[in-house]
Amino acid sequence: MRSFLAVLMACGSLSWSAALAATPPASSPRSASPTEVAQGSVEDLNEMFSDEIQATVAACWEQGKVDLSAPAGLEDWVICGDGSIVEGITYESYLETVGDVMVASTLTGMQVAIAEEPRLTPDMLAVFVTTEEGRQTMQSIVQSAILNSGLQLPDRPESVAVLSEWVATKLVENLNDPNRLDNLLGPADQYDRVVTEFCTAPGMSVEEALGIFPNHDAVQLYSVCIRESGLVSDAM
């Protein structure tokens, strides 16, 4: 599904760009990008998740993308760039689903970046995103990644800004905790169950999964699926 590939391409670019921005200039060059890994493993993700999650990520993909500048409220059905309405998918569910997948994939990519650049640490990233320069840099990187991947179209800057701000804010919240990357997959003894019950189709909704796995949050659930798909294993 091209929509999932676009999300992961955006995250690949985003994770490496953010990591490089937080690393001293003398860092050694990397060998492979998460984008390259994503292109080779995205088929595994196409077999994952519930129909609801897949449909939400793919909303308006062939109809001019979701116009995030259009809603009167987060509970409204999404409106596509061509004016059509996708009943059953709200703006809130779209932002949460796409945003959480992007954040999970980006954080997973940052784990790879840390493995390849020993001087880059979770503490360094946490300090970086607490500065005004770090927050502005993150916002700019997120926006560029979204546009370059085709998740949003450049002729609707207000819509681009909504998704960029949503994702950048969640990334800063996650990276503020230097222990977040170490705990990205949640409790290790529940990894296999998350793969079987949430990641593997027909899967279930995030709300259902959180009821079964109360020690996880949505980002951790998606991170397990991304790790299991093999998107980062080759790079690591």
Two structure tokens written together for 158: 């207000």
User: Quick one: pLDDT at residue 184?
Assistant: 95
The answer to whether position 46 is within a domain reads yes
pLDDT digits (tens, 9 = 90+) for 221-230: 999 998 888 7
The total of structural domains in the chain comes to 1
pLDDT recorded at residue 47: 75
**Residue 196's domain spans which residues?**
2-25+34-56+97-229
In a domain, 213, yes or no: yes
pLDDT per residue as tens digits for the range 176-192 = 998 999 999 999 999 99
pLDDT in the model for residue 43: 64
> Which pair of structure tokens corresponds to residue 75?
């509970």
Residue 146, in any domain of the structure: yes
Closest CA to 6 of 102, 92, 110: 102
91 within some domain: no
Cα–Cα distances (Å) from 167 to 132, 140, 160, 214, in that order, read: 17, 11, 11, 23
In a domain, 86, yes or no: no
Cα–Cα distance for residue pair 60/33, rounded to 1 Å: 28
Q: Considering the domain boundaries, does residue 175 fall inside one?
A: yes
pLDDT score at 125: 86
Domain assignment present for residue 81? The answer is: no
In which residue ranges of the chain is pLDDT below 70?
1-46, 71-72, 231-236
pLDDT of the residue at 28:
43
pLDDT at 1: 46
In a domain, 89, yes or no: no
Residue 234, pLDDT score = 47
